[in-house]
Structure 1
Amino acid sequence: MATIFVFTNRCPETIYPGVQTNPNRPAFPTTGFALPPGPDAAFPGVPAGWSGRIWGRYRCATDASGSFGCASGDCATGRVECNGAGNQAPSTLAEFTLNGQGGRDFYDISNVDGFNVPIQILPYGGQSCATVTCAANINAACPPELAARAAGGATVGCRSACGAFNTDEFCCRGEFGSPDSYYLGSGFTIMYR
């Protein structure tokens, strides 16, 4: 049974969603498209078992040579379609697995590759799943050392510390590859029964 994905752009400029299907999974109906503000774009034929990532690319244009590119979230194909290429950080990721373990759908929003645009995942049509949102404009509060900037200097994304500095400490690898390697003082406590 196919799933319907509906995209709505509430940003003041055109966003170009990029789509990457995970290996050995059925393909999403597109790998990239233009999504102007306002009207929805619907893809009713997303196959059962699809799994992959969707992210927003913005501040996009076609240059004089005809090559398409984006200041944020580009997939570096030179075209609107990503054709299997992944996102270039920083970009906010919506991650999906349809008809996964136990026949259930799984989804989340990840900032592991940084942040570029707010994303919301809203199940509809009788789904009892929760809405997830990364609605804050992280770009506005991004520290200068993490900011990704467009040619004119505007912040178009906020890199993760791992992406910006590529050190074991920030990338949770090497001697920092286990939870035991961090001391955060008192931290916080979660109690449950």
Structure 2
Amino acid sequence: EFTNDELEVYETSFHKHVAPRCFQRLLALAEWRQVSAGEDIGNPKEMQLVVAGACELHVDGKPVFKATKGSFINLPSIQRPSVAKAAGNAVPVITATSTSKLGVKAIVDTKVLVWKLEPLLQHLAQDDAAFNGLLHIVNDALLKNVHLRDQTQVNKRYAAYLKKVITSHRDTIPADEKMALTAWREANAVSDEEHQDALASLGWTQEEYDWGAR
């Protein structure tokens, strides 16, 4: 039987690909960890899952994207195993390397579920159901992370576009420019939050933007 925290993790991150009993076996290998805001939690020998809070992933000190609830950090790169025979049984052979060399820092007080990679991979070599489930999770997460990295670049381009419009019109935004900005945001999936962050970085509020001047 799961605790409330365990059940939430299962339903958020595992239920699509991992059966409950298999998840229990994976949980037995994990530890819960509470980290404080500003704490660096990057560890190439661990796989982490953000349970609550948020972390910032960065390269060379520069933010790349934000990992929030349900995000995996430092997933192993596992491949379909070749088949070896040991004592008459087919045993998976797993090659694993980190998919990420990103630094990781907690933005706020954050709870993570942590697996040491070495014992996790040893377990996956013996637990075919867990291996197949985690393989699907890894592939899903990689696609999501690629999207997040791409979206971060899109958001940066939008912020630069917004800055150019505002500075070129001396702290005003003509109606036609606002229409063009809105169309660009919609076409490139820039969220309201990212739009407001870009405004704030230029010293503007949403109300001033709506008025078209400050």
TM (norm. structure 2) is 0.24
TM (norm. structure 1) is 0.26
Q: Which has the higher contact order (CA 8 A, sep 6+)?
A: 2
Please identify the structure whose Cα radius of gyration is greater.
Answer: 2
Q: Counting helix residues as a fraction of each chain, which structure ranks higher?
A: 2
